[in-house]
Amino acid sequence: MMNDIFSVEKRIAIITGGMGQLGTQYAKTLLGHNAKVAVFDININKKNNYFVSQMNNRCLKLYRVDITKKSSIAQALIKTVKDLGKPSILINNAALDVAPALRSEASSAFEDYPERIWNKTLQVNLTGMFLACQVVGGYMAKNNGGSIINISSIYGNISPDQRIYKYRAKKGKPFFKPVSYAATKAGVINLSRYLATYWADKKVRVNTLSLGGVFNNQDKEFLREYARRVPMARMAKEFEYNGAILFLASDASSYMTGSNIIIDGGFTAW
Ligand SMILES: NC(=O)c1ccc[n+]([C@@H]2O[C@H](COP(=O)([O-])OP(=O)(O)OC[C@H]3O[C@@H](n4cnc5c(N)ncnc54)[C@H](O)[C@@H]3O)[C@@H](O)[C@H]2O)c1
């Protein structure tokens, strides 16, 4: 039988923010392909149906980890190695964003954007990713290498199109896609390139996966405005990035490092 170039069988993957909407999809995909998965999340959500259904799965471990604390990541790495084995896949997926349905100072105009929220976003989206790379990537560099997948966004590649959110201002509830999200997601792309060259001789591959918006029961007006901006005229379904995750995690992408895959229904092509 032909070898499966997408195989991740028996490999150990760490997913930061693995309890969230997309992290759950990545865990499901990797477990479904016989990998072992350690979720590092600050909030172990006991109501997540998928993880509840996997309670007795010995290939899955959930650890409460704050990625902004190096010691928290280091302790969970020691547990992962003990419970599952040596990790060779790291998906840096945890991040702070703000959904358009929410009215908060985190979506205020640039001129009023609170420095506190800017700093908090940098701390999680960039410093947290930097620390996870230091601890887990550093471990991989000493232990036969691996694949690191850093999650960015269309808004790390281009500026947010604030016209999508204009309908909010008309309703008296202005919303701006935050500058801190765009700036940190752009930082992710060059953090990946930096580490790709730094660790190339250690067999640690580092790539960025940039995503377009995902359907998550947003309000009708938002969905209409977003769809108008996308050549494929819709948001992504939450499972539509799983193929890219499997590609980047497996040997199918063995010659790829320092790259940025953009999957966005054509958003950045317009
Ligand atoms: N959903 C989208 O439309 C979309 C679009 C483009 C990019 N992305 C990116 O995909 C990734 C996942 O998005 P999502 O929609 O699944 O988000 P989500 O909010 O559902 O999940 C994020 C997870 O990160 C965890 N987290 C937050 N702070 C943490 C910390 N300090 N330490 C450890 N874990 C922490 C949260 O508890 C949560 O489980 C993010 O990087 C996001 O920017 C999402």
Please work out whether the CB of residue 102 comes within 6 Å of at least one atom of ligand 1.
Answer: no
The pLDDT mean for the chain works out to: 96
- SS3 for 194? helix
Condensed to tens digits (0 to 9), the pLDDT of residues 160-214 reads: 999 999 999 999 989 999 999 999 999 999 999 999 999 999 999 999 999 999 9
Does 57 map to a domain?
yes
Amino acid at 29: T
Instruction: Look at residue 109 and tell me if it is in a domain.
Output: no
Token pair, residue 11, equals 């490999």
- Total domains in the fold of the chain: 1
Give the number of C-alpha atoms closer than 13 A to the C-alpha of residue 216, restricted to the C-beta side.
12
Ligand 1 center from residue 16 Cα (angstroms) = 9
Tell me, using a 6 A CB cutoff, whether residue 206 lines ligand 1.
Answer: no
pLDDT at 103 over 80: no
Kindly state if the Cβ of 192 falls inside 6 Å of ligand 1.
Answer: no
Distance 123 CA to ligand 1 centre (A): 14
Q: What is the DSSP letter of 214?
A: B
Helix, strand or coil, per DSSP, at residue 159:
coil
- Tens digits of residue pLDDT in 117-163: 999 999 999 999 999 999 999 999 999 999 999 999 999 999 999 99
Classify residue 1: in a domain, yes or no: no
Closest ligand 1 atom to Cα of 211: 6
User: Residue 96 falls within a domain, yes or no?
Assistant: yes
Report which of 200, 186, 191 is spatially closest to residue 149, judged by C-alpha positions: 191
Q: Identify the pLDDT of residue 3.
A: 78
Structural domain harbouring 185: 12-100+124-157+179-216+235-263
Q: How many CA atoms lie within 13 A of 21 on its CB side?
A: 15
User: In the 3-class helix/strand/coil scheme, how is 63-125 assigned residue by residue?
Assistant: EECCCCCHHHHHHHHHHHHHHCCCCCEEEECCCCCCCCCCCCHHHCCHHHCCHHHHHHHHHHH
- 129 part of a folded domain: yes
Q: Is residue 78 part of a domain?
A: yes
Identify whether the C-beta of residue 231 lies closer than 8 Å to the C-beta of residue 262. no
On the CB side of 36, how many CA atoms lie within 13 Å of its CA?
15
Task: Give catalytic status of residue 181 as yes or no.
Answer: no
Q: Is residue 165 situated within a structural domain?
A: no
* CATH code for the domain in which residue 31 is found: 3.40.50.720
Q: Give 159 Cα–ligand 1 centroid separation in angstroms.
A: 19
- pTM for the complete prediction? 0.98
Question: Is 119 inside any structural domain?
Answer: no
- CB of 146 sitting under 6 A from ligand 1: no
- Ligand 1 atom nearest the C-alpha of 92 is 41
Name the β-bridge partners of 39: 15, 62
Decide whether any atom of ligand 1 lies within 6 Å of the 213 Cβ: yes
Active-site residue identified among 26, 113, 139, 167: 167
Residue 2 has pLDDT above 70, yes or no: no
262 lines ligand 1 (CB under 6 A): no
